[in-house]
Structure 1
């Protein structure tokens, strides 16, 4: 009997969050989970920092301006904690709809925020909670870092080997290779929006970053689900209090895509200002054909020439220990 190759329907979300509104975005999240499941999807991916939206204000003004406008406090207060009632609502929605969810969120942990992805199984149980290894550029004024344990792929009987990264983690060659080396089959690459600094910053635009997702699919011989957020007119109006700021951020920027392991597009794109869900059939049998040609972490590698040094252990800021309560002094020269 041959190898069993799972085949299922997957979905990616292209939409604007209810920006800096935690409860509103959680409600919208649950609606998309329900819609994806009703349309037969077994997996749904959400954009980077979907909850409560990407902090675009850090790209258009100074830190002092963001504090004075109240953005810093609002963003912190509307970020999600994993042990909250709202987080349980999302997990229950995954369970009730029997769908695996990969959620992008601003994770609040104590006094810090992290760019995180939460992988939730169709039973509502947590598969993994990961953090972006290194926030990009001005993101570092808001978010802390992940560690090597967050560069991981997870075996799922119904979906194959599932992994996830955020945004420009996809332009980090060593991070990508660490994922490929774990035989990733289905990858959720979460993106924010591609309407910032256009048209003068091509590296931040949709053409470059859709190409990055396509290359990841070919390099990893895996399916890439790339959800992408939309910047709404309401978000622009709220952020932009001067004309120079309006020249930096624009409505739209939604460019969600799904690619097969040969780089072929599997779903028609939506208009960049439109909200909706893209669907594609994922047939893991296609991966064997792609890897036959080139498997960069397998037969197409040369570990005698080039190898990756990868620390995948959790990085703990505090290590707790205790001394034994009863310490007996050792005897010296047979003395009592």
Structure 2
């Protein structure tokens, strides 16, 4: 089966969820008009990845200004379900395109935030989500650990089996193995990692999982931050996130990208039979597994 996919490297409207969804809709229309059946958006595209923010916190200290900033970020994060989610479902349906979107998800009961990847079908609407099970470094200040329950799955859709992990979760071997166990054909890796070494991570996952890998990052400069947030930028860097999005084949070869230092939609035609053919060489859950030696189980709690 041939599937045309797009990886959207773009700048959100910080930290405005409504305007970011407006931009997402325009990008979805553009990608669908070019024949894309699936579009991936970066980690925390809605309402934006809070790079360089401290939220007024250090060990043993929190400030009222930091709490106020957290409140603003929380207010512009997405609740599930919500009118914003319904709008995203309409965008997918109106453009006949599957969407996977990195969001910051808010829990209105507990007040916590989660780094989440949501899946939306043009046929069935909202399919489900993956919550980041371990935020990286200082991200843990604002993002809680995802529960993992019903969140480490792969979705069987009309365009293939979709699943994946967010950013540095992809350095967690057992988390990757949980996804591999479900035989994804298209593995998603939205990220905020713009290091030159990140694309090699995508190549490794593709070779290890024998699947297509879509890596997606934001591109933004210091001028994209509203004036109210410029005070958080303590260095002179013009580009705050270079991007580095890419599409990789099951043999670990770049099909598109990496894309650096600009916005854009990377596109590629995926022949899902290539996933099957690549299993001749290596199959991490098949003939290259040793269940007599290794027993891997995932808690459902």
TM-score with structure 1 setting the length: 0.82
Distance in 1, matches of 2:232 and 2:85, equals 36
Aligned to 1:212: 201
Distance in 2, matches of 1:50 and 1:220, equals 26
Go from structure 1 to structure 2 and tell me whether the alpha carbon gap of 1:310 and 1:193 turns closer, same or farther (over 3 Å shift).
closer
Aligned to 1:152: 153
* Preserved contact between residue 148 and residue 310 of structure 1 (Cα < 8 Å): no
Q: Size of the alignment, in residue pairs?
A: 294
Distance in 2, matches of 1:67 and 1:171, equals 34
Aligned to 2:29: 34
Map 1:30-179 onto structure 2 (within 5 A): 30-58=25-53, 62=57, 64=62, 67-68=65-66, 70-110=68-108, 111-123=111-123, 125-146=125-146, 147-156=148-157, 158-179=158-179
Distance in 2, matches of 1:60 and 1:262, equals 42
* Preserved contact between residue 193 and residue 231 of structure 1 (Cα < 8 Å): no
Following TM superposition, the consecutive aligned residue runs of length 4 or more in structure 1 with deviations greater than 6 angstroms are none
The answer to whether structure 1 residue 277 and structure 2 residue 272 are counterparts is no
Distance in 1, matches of 2:193 and 2:175, equals 22
Map 1:239-278 onto structure 2 (within 5 A): 239-241=229-231, 245-246=234-235, 250-272=239-261, 274-278=262-266
Distance in 2, matches of 1:166 and 1:140, equals 14
Gaps of 5+ in 1: 1-5, 195-204, 316-336
* Preserved contact between residue 217 and residue 224 of structure 1 (Cα < 8 Å): yes
Deviation of residue 192 (structure 1)?
Answer: 1.9
Distance in 2, matches of 1:38 and 1:282, equals 18
**3-state SS of the aligned residue for 1:150?**
coil
TM-score with structure 2 setting the length: 0.91
Go from structure 1 to structure 2 and tell me whether the alpha carbon gap of 1:99 and 1:109 turns closer, same or farther (over 3 Å shift).
same
Distance in 2, matches of 1:190 and 1:54, equals 12
* Preserved contact between residue 210 and residue 278 of structure 2 (Cα < 8 Å): yes
Aligned to 1:309: 297
Deviation of residue 240 (structure 1)?
Answer: 4.3
**3-state SS of the aligned residue for 2:220?**
coil
More displaced, 172-181 or 50-59? 50-59
Go from structure 1 to structure 2 and tell me whether the alpha carbon gap of 1:242 and 1:131 turns closer, same or farther (over 3 Å shift).
closer
**3-state SS of the aligned residue for 1:102?**
strand
- 1:23-55 per-residue CA deviation (whole Å, 9 max, x = no partner) reads 111111111111111110000000000000012
What do you get for the CA RMSD once the two structures are aligned? 2.1
Deviation of residue 185 (structure 1)?
Answer: 0.7
Aligned to 1:16: 11
Distance in 1, matches of 2:67 and 2:231, equals 10
- 1:96-136 per-residue CA deviation (whole Å, 9 max, x = no partner) reads 11110001000112111111111000125111122111111
**3-state SS of the aligned residue for 1:266?**
strand
* Preserved contact between residue 199 and residue 258 of structure 2 (Cα < 8 Å): no
